[in-house]
Amino acid sequence: MAVLGISLIVASVVLLILRRPEWFQQFWRNLYRQAASQQNQLPRPPQRPIPRIEEPKPEDEDDQTNQKERERIAVSSEKKVASSPPPPVPVVIHENGTSITYNPDSPRAEEQTTPKASVANPSDSVPAFTLSVPDLPPQPQPPKVVDVEEQPAPAVTSSSSTSNARSTPSMMMPPPPLPVPASASRSTGSSGGLSANLTRQPGTSTLPLPGSRPVGGSGSSGPLPNRGPPSSSGGGGLFPPPTHSSKPAKPSRAVVLTPGHSPLDWARLSGHPTADLRGLPKETPYLRVTPSMLKKMTGRKGKDAWMVLGGRVYNITPYIPFHPGGEPELLRGAGRDGTKLFGEIHPWVNYEGMLAACLVGIYVSEEDGEAAGAAAAKNGAGGGGGSMEEMD
Ligand code: HEM
């Protein structure tokens, strides 16, 4: 009897599938609509077994309802029923135990073109990123790095994080370098080099003096020449305490030269090979100038100004309007030996080259000049002098 009943049921089902009467199709349409309306009302799709990509279920686990449903899908696709929407095609993204299903039949999917994803299994826990991984198997400990200075490491309470940090040496940041004490850097640095380079020559006003900056200003550790000599008191500041040993900057005593009397004009005038600025008759040989001769040539009473520089006597009269220090300053050395005075003010000035056209002769003692007294009288320099040719 049971076999007969089952065979009857099977035969009727087969007959229904093959014949597909009108009432049967109507029944399935209503069933579709009802299912579609339920899907639209519910925020989430109904809970049902979802085929997973990574964990496909075997075929024998499908029940008879799913089998019928597949048959129904096949039948409806053949007849192309426009009113019955296709069953939802879930797109499952299975990652770390979380299933995300894309339901194209949802109203939002119909309105928007961008597909939306929704959580298919809300019971699944959302994966969270944590630093501590307690389930990790014990990893081999790397060789312990012993610092040279054995600095105390910060205390770490979490053992798992400690093992992680030690197992990934690339993520370990090296300890910051200890700040070098200012006194040590100064002692090891060029304490004599930089300060020695800052030795100021008289007349230069471009380089600031080490002590001229205000204490407590913006300290710069760059190569700017704003560091003075190392502090003897050993203070920790960036700037040494103000010392009174450095010379204050002298105000420039340069004068404003009249037009046409610039240094370039003097170079043009005196640099010519045939330039003769001696103030002596032409073809006059170099003279032996005695002190008695020199002291009369002071630039006053209509006479030229002679000056001894380095044992040579120069007629500085034509240079007076070109002197950057002014006429009074220049005439301080007139009629005398101005070598020391010249060197005290501007030893860097090349007087030999600048006054080559003004060379009168050489400076000699009175005894040496006695023999040439007559020649000196002839040149108008008074007694006690003579020409070098006569002397030689
Ligand atoms: C011994 C007598 C002299 C005295 C007292 C004297 C004095 C001075 C003074 C005060 C200055 C200005 C310095 C400054 O800028 O603050 C100066 C500049 C100058 N003097 Fe004389 N001078 C003398 C002789 C000479 C001679 C014989 C020459 C030419 C060879 C000369 C060439 C210059 C030049 C080129 C400068 C400009 C230097 C510079 O700006 O670096 N001086 N002099």
Q: What is the pLDDT of residues 123-177, one digit of tens each?
A: 556 666 656 555 555 554 544 444 434 444 444 444 444 444 444 444 456 566 5
Q: What is the pLDDT of residue 41?
A: 58
DSSP 259: T
Atom of ligand 1 nearest to the CA of 341: 1
| Ligand 1 center to 325 CA (angstroms) | 5
Q: Are 387 and 375 in contact (CB under 8 A)?
A: yes
Q: 23 pLDDT exceeds 70?
A: yes
Measured by CA distance, the residue closest to atom 37 of ligand 1 is 324
Atom of ligand 1 nearest to the CA of 355: 30
| CB proximity list for 101: less than 8 A, separation 6 or greater | 45, 50, 90, 91, 92, 117, 118, 119, 120
What integer is the mean pLDDT of 18-40? Answer: 78
Q: What is the pLDDT of residue 66?
A: 54
| Ligand 1 center to 313 CA (angstroms) | 17
- Ligand 1 lined by 323 (C-beta under 6 Å): yes
b/e code 125-148 from CB counts within 10 Å (16+ = b)? eeeeeeeeeeeeeeeeeeeeeeee
- Ligand 1 lined by 333 (C-beta under 6 Å): yes
Atom of ligand 1 nearest to the CA of 314: 27
Range from 220-224, 326-330, 374-378 carrying the lowest mean pLDDT = 220-224
End-to-end CA, the chain? 164
What are the structural domain ranges in the chain? 22-49+60-119, 263-391
The CATH fold of domain 263-391: Flavocytochrome B2; Chain A, domain 1 (3.10.120)
- Ligand 1 lined by 81 (C-beta under 6 Å): no
CA separation for the pair 63, 76 (Å, rounded): 20
- Ligand 1 lined by 203 (C-beta under 6 Å): yes
Q: Are 249 and 209 in contact (CB under 8 A)?
A: yes
Q: Which of 330, 332, 337, 355 to mutate to test the pocket of ligand 1 (most atoms within 8 A of CB)?
A: 330
| Ligand 1 center to 211 CA (angstroms) | 27
Q: Which of 257, 269, 346 to mutate to test the pocket of ligand 1 (most atoms within 8 A of CB)?
A: 346
- Per-residue pLDDT band for 58 (boundaries 50, 70, 90) equals very low
Structure-block tokens of residue 62:
């499908």
pLDDT digit string, tens, across residues 269-292: 999 888 999 999 988 999 999 999
Q: What is the pLDDT of residue 116?
A: 66
Q: What is the pLDDT of residue 373?
A: 61
CA separation for the pair 198, 188 (Å, rounded): 18
- Ligand 1 lined by 345 (C-beta under 6 Å): yes
